[in-house]
Amino acid sequence: MTRLRNALVSAIVSAIGALPFAVVVIVAATGQQPAPAPAPAIGPPTAPTAPTTPNAPRGPAPSLARPASPTKASDRAGFLQRWLILEPLKVPGQLTEGAVQALVKKEHVPESLTAVPKDGEVVHAGDETLTWRAVDTTAYNVNLFHFAYALNKPTSNVLFWAVTVVDAPREMPGVRLAIGSNAASVWWLNGQEVIGLYNDRQAVIDDGVSPRLTLKKGPNVIRAAIVNAGGATDFCARFLDGNDAPIIGLVVRLDAAAGATPRP
């Protein structure tokens, strides 16, 4: 039984802690992309500040910023820098293959593997209410510790869901998704599981690499589950071509899949 319930049926106001770092996101039932919200709990790279109120956001998150444009091309090394991240879900933090596979199967509905949530979309997981947040990273990686810490969310014994959409200009056969993650992670491309990394580990560029795949023309949905037991947590992802060279300039368009993929 899944613990996550989609909350698209109603507009939801997600007020995260105290101003000025509160994020107020209104998600329409139509799935329309919300207008950029002011002052998110993520922002330009600066050092996190200590919280002044329990459970209040600590932001802004170093290395993360709120998207300010409809699309974002990969960086010069091909890394995808725009993602939707779900606030961390508390989990046991077991990192073996068996434990992680059991966890990700428990924590999602299969149909959702190709779904693209909306920035600000709220889901309920047991007694937790979690929000999807769109972020741009200024680095090659997405620092999930920054993400969660800025929101005053747990960083240990957690599961992060991450989604992005690559808008391929043409069909691209023979490519590989290449990722690194701290710690264990499982990755899907257009609903197909393509990478699994397990056990305690650091995020290493091109650590887990998928078999040769085909990016279809148009939107391609990448979904990842990153499980962290403790300490730093982050991930990075890019595509490699047939010669294992990074594919530069792929464009992320988080709304590219709207209307193309049935929502569960």
Partner 1 sequence: MTWHPRLAAAALLLLVAPLSALDGEPGMHDPSTVIQADGRFYVYATGNGLPAFVSDDGWTWRRAGAVMQAVPGGRPGPDVLARGGNNTWAPDIMRVGDRYYLYYSAPGPQPKSAIGLLIGKTLDPASPDYKWEDAGPVVWSDGVEDSNAIDPGVFRDPGNGSLWLTYGSYFGYIRLVELDPKTGKRLHPERAPINVSINSEASIMIFRDGWYYLLVTHGSCCQGGNSSYNIRMGRSRKVTGPFLDNMDVDMLQGGGKLFAGSSGRHIGPGHFGLLALGEGVQKFSLHYESDLDRGGISVLDIRPLLWRDGWPVAGDNLTAGTYEIESARTGTALEMAVQGAPVGGARRGPGGPPPGQGPPSGAPPGTPPAPRPPIPAQEADQVSANWPGGAAGVRLAPYMLQAQQKWAITPVAGAGGYPGSPYFKITVAGTDRALAATAEAELTVLPAFTGGPEQLWRVDQLTDGTYRLMPKGVPGSKDAMALSAVGSSTPTLAAFRPAGDRERWLIKTP
Cβ proximity to partner 1: between 106 and 212 the closer is 212
Task: Say whether residue 247 binds partner 1 (CB under 8 A).
Answer: no
Quote the tokens at residue 238: 């890019």
Binding of partner 1 by 96 (CB under 8 A) = yes
CA–CA gap between residue 149 and residue 155 (Å, rounded): 7
Binding region for partner 1 (CB under 8 A) out of 9-17, 43-51, 163-171, 176-184: 176-184
Give the β-pairing of 64-65 and 128-137.
antiparallel
Tokens of 130: 């979690």
Q: Does 192 bind partner 1 (CB under 8 A)?
A: no
Check residue 61 and report its DSSP letter.
Answer: P
Report phi then psi at 220, rounded to 5. -130, 125
The residue whose two tokens read 């590989």 is 176
Question: Of 178, 189, 225, 237, which one interacts with partner 1 (CB under 8 A)?
Answer: 178
Task: Tell me which stretch binds partner 1 (CB under 8 A): 10-18, 59-67, 117-125, 175-183.
Answer: 175-183
Q: Would you say 241 or 255 has its CB closer to partner 1?
A: 241
Provide the minimum distance between the beta carbon of 167 and partner 1 in the complex, in angstroms, as a whole number: 25
- Is residue 209 close enough to count as binding partner 1 by CB under 8 A? yes
DSSP SS3 for 97: helix
Q: Is 200 in the site for partner 1 (CB under 8 A)?
A: no
- Per CB under 8 A, 80 contacts partner 1: no
Largest CA distance in the chain: 51
**208 counts as binding partner 1 under rule CB under 8 A:** yes
Shortest gap between Cβ of 231 and partner 1 (angstroms)?
A: 18
**88 DSSP 8-state letter:** P
Rounded to a whole number of angstroms, the CA Rg of the chain reads: 17
Alpha-carbon gap, residue 113 to 4, rounded angstroms:
13
Among 244, 249, 260, 264, binds partner 1 (CB under 8 A): 244
Distance (Å, whole) CA 228 – CA 248: 29
Applying CB under 8 A, the residues found at the interface with partner 1 are 96-98, 176, 178, 180, 197-198, 204, 206-209, 211-212, 240, 244
